């Protein structure tokens, strides 16, 4: 505590003058009384409570002296020193990844929000920039000085379950620094000092991490496949604690019904893999472990069954534009001789061998036919409302010749009145033309069509695949209005121009239109299933002296309020005694 106007200490003479006045004033007056019968009784009462009588008699004096002393203090402007955030501006980088939900009595994320709210009181008018992490870091606040707006922004923060990708957030923060002395607070669980950019001397880094004694037991891997008759599942559990744990592992179907339950013992700091065979045939499955740890979100995981591989095999006889087109959209494409195509039963096959329509287990892409002759054709290309054309418009392409159509197959595009593209009952996609007889490769719709075909055959018909939280991905859906719903039919979002934004929380969801629906799964990334030891530290210094900046909080407003109360009290004392006295 200190005084910024110590020169006003001379005003202390004022209460001294008042005190001297009371010392030299006349203390009594001569008055004749008719009797002293009650004198002894009055003196007895005085002796019983002398201090109270003294206080009652001199209350006005004490009130006046106290008011004058407080006035002297107010003139000297007393203050208390309070630590403040160093630098001319402050940046908060907030980790919103799923691991921030770990914690004992409260999550790391909630603890950091409380810390940020307490720091708002130390800003002393400095501007604040608030940045959240994720695949695309967001600047929630930019150079904000209003304390209420800052508090509201902090209170509205929530975990997005995305991987932190801290390097991106640090780059965004660097853009706001410039040459201004800046304190950057990083609220995360753990951050290696080597990741911090230390090129500038005008930055002070304060990293607030999670607790160091958090425990976690997680489902790190979960996969399930089916042969059409039964289901096989594999679950990998990881114990990151120093103690052996006994837990219950349960597999449930889409309705939440128990498929199988097993007791599992996991040694300290080890992983255990469990496999289950001959399980009932289901279309989706969720693994759940019943265990008490400090991170609950990774205690369950869901998968969709019948999701095919995305490996693509292209017939060597195919036109090079087809080969290059698929290689552009999928780096893992293999070019295979025609006689070996039948061996690629686990891949998406692109060929012109009609016989493979019956020999392959999975649907294929058939470009042209090798069992019939093509005929010349001329006309306008028209397409139906099929998901295959969600991103590719074929109306401007030219086709000079077509192969005969397959009987019983659904026609989804025509040239004039003749079938151009068909879909079999098993899901095969048939293009009834050689690519050399069209100008299709000259149009942007060609690679988009190849991509849509590969996407549809790489995934099961009723599934859109696996997404990470908040992931944006183009999906091949039939034209129309599509919406994303949770398992309890809660509306979440709409699919705009074929771009689907995955929900935030992990789980099973449904994309639905008026006549069709497809499911998708949101899963945590692998790094969000591991809890690392928390780190907190400070790097850099803004002041040459190395001293922490302080602010001065004045007591004057409180002193003035007390003085006003004392003046009212003096007026009441004087009123009761009578102003004439």
In terms of DSSP bridges, do strands 312-315 and 348-351 run parallel, antiparallel, or are they unpaired? parallel
Tell me what pLDDT residue 466 has: 82
Between CA 144 and CA 123 the distance in angstroms is 11
Between CA 321 and CA 220 the distance in angstroms is 41
Tell me what pLDDT residue 86 has: 66
b/e sequence 437-469, b meaning 16+ C-beta within 10 Å: bbebbebebbbbbbbbbbbbbbbbeebbbbbbb
- Three-state DSSP class for residue 253: coil
Nearest-5° Cα angle at 525, 538 to 497: 115
* Per-residue pLDDT at 285 exceeds 50: yes
What is the separation of C-alpha 90 from the centre of its chain, rounded to a whole number of angstroms?
21
* Per-residue pLDDT at 61 exceeds 90: no
Which helix (H) or strand (E) is 564 found in, with range? helix 556-577
- Answer with the residue of higher pLDDT: 580 or 144: 144
Return the residue matching tokens 């019956």.
358
SS3 of 490-531 = CEEEEEECCEEECCCCCEEEEEECCCCEEEEEECCCHHHHCC
Least confident of 336-340, 350-354, 460-464, 470-474: 460-464
- Answer with the residue of higher pLDDT: 271 or 305: 271
Residue 403 in contact with residue 465, Cβ under 8 Å?
A: no
Tens digit of each residue's pLDDT (9 = 90 or more) over 479-489? 778 999 998 88
**Cβ atoms within 10 Å of 286's Cβ, excluding its own:** 21
Tell me what pLDDT residue 141 has: 93
* Per-residue pLDDT at 359 exceeds 70: yes
Read off the pLDDT band of 535 (50, 70, 90).
confident
Residue 164 in contact with residue 70, Cβ under 8 Å?
A: no
Residue 289 in contact with residue 247, Cβ under 8 Å?
A: yes
Tens digit of each residue's pLDDT (9 = 90 or more) over 192-211? 998 998 887 888 899 999 99
In terms of DSSP bridges, do strands 537-539 and 203-208 run parallel, antiparallel, or are they unpaired? antiparallel
Strand ranges inside 318-470, DSSP E:
334-336, 348-351, 365-367, 375-376, 381-383, 401-402, 410-415, 418-423, 429-431, 463-467
Strand-pair partners of 491? 485
Interacting residues of 289 by C-beta distance below 8 A, sequence separation 6+:
217, 219, 237, 247, 248, 249, 250, 264, 299, 300
Tell me what pLDDT residue 384 has: 86
Tens digit of each residue's pLDDT (9 = 90 or more) over 119-136? 888 887 889 999 999 989
Read off the pLDDT band of 544 (50, 70, 90).
very low
The alpha-helical segments, DSSP class H, found in 156-236 are 166-177
Strand-pair partners of 66? none
Mean pLDDT of 392-410: 90
Half-sphere exposure of 506 (CA within 13 A, CB side): 22
Between CA 404 and CA 108 the distance in angstroms is 65
Tell me what pLDDT residue 57 has: 61
Mean pLDDT of 485-507: 89
Residue 75 in contact with residue 11, Cβ under 8 Å?
A: yes
Residue 309 in contact with residue 458, Cβ under 8 Å?
A: yes
Between CA 144 and CA 279 the distance in angstroms is 57
DSSP, res 388: G
Between CA 561 and CA 62 the distance in angstroms is 18
Tell me whether residue 304 is exposed, middle or buried, using C-beta atoms within 10 angstroms of its C-beta: 0 to 12, 13 to 18, 19 or more. Answer: buried
In terms of DSSP bridges, do strands 128-132 and 89-94 run parallel, antiparallel, or are they unpaired? parallel
Tell me what pLDDT residue 8 has: 67
Tell me what pLDDT residue 44 has: 62
Query: Among 6, 85, 83, 103, which residue's Cα sits nearest to residue 542?
Result: 85
Residue 438 in contact with residue 400, Cβ under 8 Å?
A: yes
Tell me what pLDDT residue 307 has: 46
**Cβ atoms within 10 Å of 98's Cβ, excluding its own:** 25
Tell me what pLDDT residue 545 has: 38
Tens digit of each residue's pLDDT (9 = 90 or more) over 546-556? 344 555 667 67
DSSP, res 107: B
Mean pLDDT of 529-555: 70
Between CA 134 and CA 470 the distance in angstroms is 9
The alpha-helical segments, DSSP class H, found in 95-251 are 108-120, 147-155, 166-177
- Three-state DSSP class for residue 404: coil
* Per-residue pLDDT at 435 exceeds 70: yes
Residue 247 in contact with residue 290, Cβ under 8 Å?
A: yes
Mean pLDDT of 95-115: 93
Tell me what pLDDT residue 571 has: 75
- Answer with the residue of higher pLDDT: 454 or 55: 454
Read off the pLDDT band of 375 (50, 70, 90).
very high
- Three-state DSSP class for residue 293: coil
Tell me what pLDDT residue 578 has: 64
Read off the pLDDT band of 308 (50, 70, 90).
very low
Least confident of 47-56, 163-172, 248-257, 361-370: 47-56
Read off the pLDDT band of 27 (50, 70, 90).
low
Between CA 439 and CA 489 the distance in angstroms is 45
Mean pLDDT of 365-393: 87
Tell me what pLDDT residue 541 has: 74
- Answer with the residue of higher pLDDT: 12 or 290: 290
Residue 508 in contact with residue 476, Cβ under 8 Å?
A: no
Residue 275 in contact with residue 234, Cβ under 8 Å?
A: yes
Read off the pLDDT band of 433 (50, 70, 90).
very high
Tell me what pLDDT residue 3 has: 64
Q: Return the biggest CA–CA distance within the chain.
A: 147
The alpha-helical segments, DSSP class H, found in 76-204 are 108-120, 147-155, 166-177
Least confident of 228-237, 301-310, 464-473, 565-574: 301-310
Note the residue count of the chain: 581
């Amino acid at each position: 505590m200190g005084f910024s106007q110590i020169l006003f200490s001379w005003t202390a003479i004022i209460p001294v003058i008042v005190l001297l006045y009371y010392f030299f004033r006349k203390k009594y007056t001569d008055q004749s009384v008719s009797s002293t019968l009650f004198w002894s009784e009055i003196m007895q009462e005085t002796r019983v409570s002398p201090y109270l009588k003294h206080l009652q008699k001199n209350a006005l004096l004490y009130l006046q002296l106290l008011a004058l002393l407080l006035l002297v203090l107010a003139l000297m402007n007393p203050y208390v020193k309070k630590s403040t955030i160093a630098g001319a501006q402050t940046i908060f980088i907030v980790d919103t990844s799923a691991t921030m939900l770990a914690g004992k009595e409260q999550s790391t994320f909630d603890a950091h929000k409380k810390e940020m709210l307490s720091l708002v009181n130390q800003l002393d008018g400095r501007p604040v920039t608030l940045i959240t992490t994720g695949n695309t870091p967001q600047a929630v606040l930019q150079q904000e000085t209003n304390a209420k707006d800052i508090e509201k922004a902090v209170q509205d923060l929530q975990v997005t379950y995305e991987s932190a990708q801290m390097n991106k957030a640090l780059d965004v923060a660097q853009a706001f620094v410039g040459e201004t002395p800046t304190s950057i607070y990083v609220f995360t669980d753990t951050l290696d000092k080597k990741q911090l950019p230390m090129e500038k001397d005008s930055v002070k880094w304060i990293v607030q991490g999670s607790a160091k004694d958090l425990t976690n037991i997680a489902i790190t891997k979960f996969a399930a496949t089916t042969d059409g008759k039964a289901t096989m599942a594999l679950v990998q559990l990881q114990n990151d604690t120093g103690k052996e744990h006994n837990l219950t592992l349960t597999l449930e179907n889409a309705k939440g019904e128990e498929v199988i339950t097993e007791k599992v013992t996991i040694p300290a700091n080890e992983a255990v893999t469990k496999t289950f065979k001959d399980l009932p045939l289901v279309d989706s499955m969720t693994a759940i472990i019943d265990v008490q740890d400090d991170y609950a979100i990774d205690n369950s995981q869901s998968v969709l069954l019948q999701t095919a591989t995305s490996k693509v095999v292209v017939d060597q006889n195919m036109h090079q534009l087809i080969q290059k087109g698929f290689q552009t959209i999928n780096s893992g494409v293999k070019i295979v001789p025609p006689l070996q195509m039948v061996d690629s039963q686990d891949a998406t096959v692109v060929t012109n061998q009609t016989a493979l329509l019956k020999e392959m287990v999975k649907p294929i892409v058939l470009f042209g036919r090798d069992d019939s002759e093509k005929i010349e054709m001329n006309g306008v290309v028209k397409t139906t409302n099929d998901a295959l054309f969600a991103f590719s418009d074929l109306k401007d392409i030219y086709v000079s010749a077509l192969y005969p159509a397959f009987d019983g197959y659904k026609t989804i595009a025509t040239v004039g009145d003749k079938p151009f593209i068909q879909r079999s009952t098993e899901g095969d996609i048939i293009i009834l033309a050689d690519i050399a007889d069209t100008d299709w490769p000259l149009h942007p719709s060609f690679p988009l069509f190849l991509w849509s075909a590969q996407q549809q055959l790489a995934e099961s018909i009723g599934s859109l695949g696996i997404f990470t939280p908040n992931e944006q991905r183009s999906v091949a859906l039939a034209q129309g209005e599509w919406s994303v719903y949770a398992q309890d039919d809660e509306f979440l979002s709409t699919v705009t121009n074929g771009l689907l934004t995955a929900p935030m929380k992990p789980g099973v969801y449904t994309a639905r239109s008026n006549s069709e629906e497809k499911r998708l799964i949101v899963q945590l990334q692998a790094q969000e299933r591991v809890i690392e030891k928390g780190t907190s530290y400070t790097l850099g210094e803004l002041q040459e002296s190395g001293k922490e900046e302080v602010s001065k909080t004045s007591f004057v407003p409180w002193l003035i309020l007390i003085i006003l109360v004392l003046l009212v009290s003096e007026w009441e004392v004087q009123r009761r005694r009578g102003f004439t006295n």
